[in-house]
Structure 1
Amino acid sequence: MTVYVDDAVHAWRGQRWAHLMADTLPELHAMAAQLGMPHRAFQNKASGAHYDVSAPMRVQAIALGAMPISRHTDRARMKAVIANARAQYQPD
Structure 2
Amino acid sequence: MTVLVDPPVWPNHGRLWGHLVSDTSLAELHAFAARAGLPERAFDHDHYDIPDSLYDQLVELGAQPVSAHELIRRLRASGLRVPARERARRH
* TM-score, length basis structure 2: 0.75
Q: How far apart, CA to CA, are the structure 1 residues paired with 2:81 and 2:17?
A: 19
- For structure 2, the residue ranges without an aligned partner over 5 or more in a row are none
- For structure 1, the residue ranges without an aligned partner over 5 or more in a row are none
Which structure features the higher share of helix residues? Answer: 2
Q: How far apart, CA to CA, are the structure 2 residues paired with 1:31 and 1:2?
A: 10
Partner of 1:30: 31
| CA-to-aligned-CA distance 1:30-85 (integer Å, 9 cap, x gap) | 121122122232111xxxx00000112111100000000014xxx5x434323034
In the alignment, does 2:91 pair up with 1:86? no
Paired letter, 1:40: R
1:17 and 1:54 in contact (8 A); partners too: yes
2:20 and 2:50 in contact (8 A); partners too: yes
CA RMSD of aligned residues (A): 2.4
Please give the secondary structure, in 2, of the residue aligned with 1:43.
Answer: coil
In the alignment, does 2:16 pair up with 1:16? yes
* TM-score, length basis structure 1: 0.75
CA 1:40–1:78 in 2, change beyond 3 Å: closer, same or farther? closer
Which structure features the higher share of strand residues? Answer: 1
Partner of 2:52: 55
Structure 1 stretches of 4+ with a deviation exceeding 4 A read 89-92
Q: How many residues align?
A: 84
1:31 and 1:61 in contact (8 A); partners too: no
